[in-house]
Each structure stands twice: as C-alpha cells, then as structure tokens.
C-alpha cells in the first residue's frame, strides 16, 4: 500500500494493485523510435499491470503501523510480512501467462537483491526458490533470456514512474532504462497539478494520461479493526496524471 499525504492533512491509501495498474497503463503507451518497442507486447504489459499481484490480500486488510497509526507503507513493512507477500506471488499468474509470471518473479527478486536485507536466511531461501522457478519458466517458454531481462528492466522503469506519480516525488533520475539501442538515463520532472515531464520522451503520443484510485483516510487509528472499518467506509478518490514532453506549456 502507498500512503500519500495530502495538503489538508488527510492521506490517500493507494493499493499496490492500483499503483501497478498505472504501470500497465504506461506499458501500453510505451515505445517509439528512440526507446524501441515492447515485445512480446501483451505479455509484458500484463506483467507490468500485475507485478504486485501478491499484495491484493494484504491491501484488503492491511496491518497497522503502530508508529504512524496508519497502514504500513510498503517500504515500511517488516521483512517477515513482505516475504509473506512475495513468496508464491508469481505463481498466481502461471495459469494466465507464464511469461508474465516470469516477469513478476524477476521483479520480486530484483527488489530483494537490491534491498535485502542481505544475509537474511529467509530472504536467501526466497531468492533461491524464485531463481529455480524462473529457470523452469524460461526453459519451458523457450523465451530469449536477453529479451526477458530487457522486459524486466522495463517493468522496473514503469514501476518507478508509477511510484513517482502516485507518491508525488520530486525530480528523479531513472537509470538503465532500456532503449532501442542499449540503455539510457531518463529524467522525471514534476510540473505541478498532476503533470510531469519525461526526458527523453518514451511515447508516440504527445501527452499520456494515466490514473489510479485510492481511499481517503482522516486521522490515525488505534487498532487494526478500527483501521479496516475506516477503509471500508472511506470515500474513493481518482488520481489523474498527465505525462508531457519536456518544455510543453
């Protein structure tokens, strides 16, 4: 879950699946002569849209962070709960698309390779299990490993851009973004009023609009029962974002 703090003191609780939906919307608009095309398109877009599939049950009944009185933000979640979400997440997609499941698994291992915690035996066991799962899928699909790795980096890029939009991040650089020829660095620049510029520009369209949904929460909570009741009753809010070429008015 993403916790977005609003100017009026309220927060928006944005489910991981809604944030991932933004990633999928970006994937479906992505591609031009400079950045190259997404192949296989449907499978990669599905992997992007479902990259946080393991979070669905947790987001429905999130655990309470006693330090904030709010649901745990996904970056605050204790490692045992995080692993409980990621273990088996990719398997949820296998019956729909093995290729998309492979991308979800690779996204999960990329997260834990980068942020660990390193040396944790439970994290190490999760990584080894996922690596074996990935090898089986890769062999069974007969997919090109280089193309799969490129698509994993694209999912990582779309994920980062979605997080930047949903969380209201400032100016941000994204590294190792796949392009038509090699990799590039991309710049995300917020412009205010839900607008942001990207450089270089990765789309054919001049403006790309994406949206997510969240629930508005006021105040803090003493118990998970109180939190869950508030989430059930909370009003829904739609967030819309426009990505534009750098320099557009």
Instruction: Parse the chain into domains and list their residue ranges.
Output: 2-245
Contact between 162 and 190 (Cβ < 8 Å): no
What is residue 247's predicted lDDT score, i.e. its pLDDT? 60
- The gap from C-alpha 225 to its chain's centroid, in whole angstroms, comes to 27
Measured CA to CA, the distance from residue 77 to residue 177 in angstroms comes to 27
Q: What is the mean pLDDT of residues 167-191?
A: 96
Q: How far apart are CA 82 and CA 37, in angstroms?
A: 33
**H-run or E-run covering 241:** strand 236-245
- Radius of gyration in angstroms for the set of CA atoms belonging to the chain, rounded to a whole number: 18
pLDDT tens-digit map of 183-224: 999 999 999 999 999 999 999 999 999 999 999 999 999 999
Query: Contact 36/154 with Cβ under 8 angstroms?
Result: no
């Amino acid at each position: 879950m993403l916790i977005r703090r609003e100017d009026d003191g309220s927060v928006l609780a944005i489910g991981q699946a809604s944030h991932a939906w933004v990633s999928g919307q970006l994937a479906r608009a992505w591609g031009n002569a400079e950045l190259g095309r997404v192949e296989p398109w449907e499978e990669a877009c599905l992997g992007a849209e479902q990259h946080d599939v393991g979070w669905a049950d947790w987001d429905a009944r999130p655990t309470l962070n006693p330090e904030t009185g709010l649901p745990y933000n996904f970056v605050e979640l204790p490692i045992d709960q995080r692993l409980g979400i990621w273990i088996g997440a990719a398997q949820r997609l296998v019956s729909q698309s093995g290729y998309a499941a492979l991308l979800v698994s690779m996204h999960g291992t990329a997260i834990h390779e980068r942020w660990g915690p390193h040396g944790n035996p439970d994290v190490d066991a999760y990584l080894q299990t996922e690596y074996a799962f990935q090898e089986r899928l890769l062999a069974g699909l007969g997919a090109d490993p280089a193309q799969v790795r490129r698509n994993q980096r694209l999912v990582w890029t779309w994920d980062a851009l979605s997080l930047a939009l949903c969380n209201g991040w400032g100016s941000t650089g994204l590294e190792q973004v796949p392009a038509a020829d090699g990799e590039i660095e991309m710049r995300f620049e917020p412009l205010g009023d839900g607008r942001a510029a990207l450089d270089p520009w990765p789309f054919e369209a001049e403006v790309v609009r994406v949206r997510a949904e969240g629930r508005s929460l006021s105040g803090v909570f003493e118990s998970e029962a109180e939190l869950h009741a508030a989430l059930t009753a909370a009003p829904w809010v739609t967030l819309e974002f426009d990505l534009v070429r750098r320099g557009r008015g």
